[in-house]
Amino acid sequence: MITRSQSGIVKPIDRLSLHTSSISLIPKNSSHALKDPNWRNAMYDEYNALVKNSTWLLVPRPACVNMVCSMWLFKHKFHADGTLSPYKARLVANGSSQQLGVNFEETFSPVVKPAIIRTVLSLAVSRQWPIHQLDVKNAFLNGGLQYLTFTRPDLSYAVQQICLYMHDPREPHLTAINRILRYVQDTLDLGLHLYAASTTSLVGYTDADWAGYPSTRRSTSGYCVFLGDNLLSWSAKRQHTLPRFSVEAEYRGVANIVAETA
């Protein structure tokens, strides 16, 4: 028998590491979740937050009513570097168990648009209202609450045009991309300013480029809406149909801005 040292082998042996880090799978139901300490702690955090905020009151069950049950939702959340953040468990109302005419009469989904945010901020600046930030930890009965993502709306149309040629890019498209990147670099310090003003008039402007797109001859219509001197909403997009006359393209643009202001 010849040992490693007798053979002149001094390289250390790579031992098998028995230390492993695993991620708990998403449970199929609450019973399975309670058996896993990771998901059980996430459920406790959600439940304690709901109790602390006095989300509900415990009352006797009324007779002859349709009970809307609750359900647990489990999801993995990850950081930007790909590592796992704390496990997320949410207790939400099971909307599919509701009955029309018993639990609700009509449906309404509250969606916050960026224009609404700018309108509220414009009024707050003009009337010197205090502004507070709200961070939603849990959202029981608020599953329909949506957050819009503030990006660069001034780039949306230009980027959308470039994306149309991702399958077959050519030299003009690379030139356009470089122009967009130079625009971004030169406008990093710019932003949309809201000023205090006594004027509360809502004014909108619209225009249309009839058959301006060469390949499809579709028209492009745009609009912008002001509250006093503050810009609240704007849009520039191609129309879905082909208008026969320039007047038709203009009317479609007017219809879009009327819907936006309403």
In this prediction, residue 2 carries a pLDDT of 57
Q: Which two tokens stand for residue 46?
A: 């959600």
Place of tokens 């959202």: 139
Q: How many domains does the chain have?
A: 2
| 3-class state of residue 113 by DSSP | coil
Domain boundary among 97, 129, 155: 97
Q: Which two tokens stand for residue 120?
A: 């509220």
In this prediction, residue 131 carries a pLDDT of 87
Domain assignment of residue 67, yes or no: yes
Domain boundary among 56, 81, 97: 97
Q: How far apart are CA 220 and CA 237, in angstroms?
A: 6
Q: How far apart are CA 211 and CA 214, in angstroms?
A: 7
Count of CB atoms within 10 A of residue 122's CB? Answer: 22
Q: How far apart are CA 232 and CA 76, in angstroms?
A: 36
In this prediction, residue 113 carries a pLDDT of 84
Domain assignment of residue 247, yes or no: yes
Q: What residue type is 211 in one-letter code?
A: A
Domain assignment of residue 127, yes or no: no
Q: How far apart are CA 12 and CA 148, in angstroms?
A: 55
- Quote the domain boundaries for residue 65: 30-97
| 3-class state of residue 93 by DSSP | strand
% helix, strand, coil for the chain, step of 5:
30, 15, 55
Domain assignment of residue 249, yes or no: yes
Domain assignment of residue 170, yes or no: no
In this prediction, residue 197 carries a pLDDT of 83
Q: Which helix (H) or strand (E) holds 34?
A: helix 30-34
Domain assignment of residue 209, yes or no: yes
Domain boundary among 97, 117, 137: 97
Predicted TM-score (pTM) of this structure: 0.52
Cα→Cα distances 43→3, 34, 64, 72, 221, Å: 56, 8, 31, 9, 50
DSSP state, residue 227 = E
Domain assignment of residue 205, yes or no: yes
| 3-class state of residue 146 by DSSP | strand
In this prediction, residue 132 carries a pLDDT of 83
Q: Which helix (H) or strand (E) holds 232?
A: strand 230-238
In this prediction, residue 155 carries a pLDDT of 84
CA 36 to chain centre: 31
pLDDT in tens, the chain (262 residues): 555 555 666 555 544 444 445 788 999 889 999 999 999 999 999 999 888 888 888 888 888 888 888 899 999 888 777 788 889 999 988 877 778 877 777 776 677 788 888 999 999 999 999 988 776 666 555 464 443 734 677 787 788 888 888 888 899 999 999 999 999 999 888 888 888 988 788 999 999 999 887 878 889 999 999 998 899 999 888 888 888 889 999 999 999 999 999 8
In this prediction, residue 256 carries a pLDDT of 92
Domain assignment of residue 131, yes or no: no
Q: How far apart are CA 99 and CA 190, in angstroms?
A: 50
In this prediction, residue 55 carries a pLDDT of 84
Where b means 16+ CB within 10 Å and e means fewer, 124-137 reads ebbeeeeeeeeeee
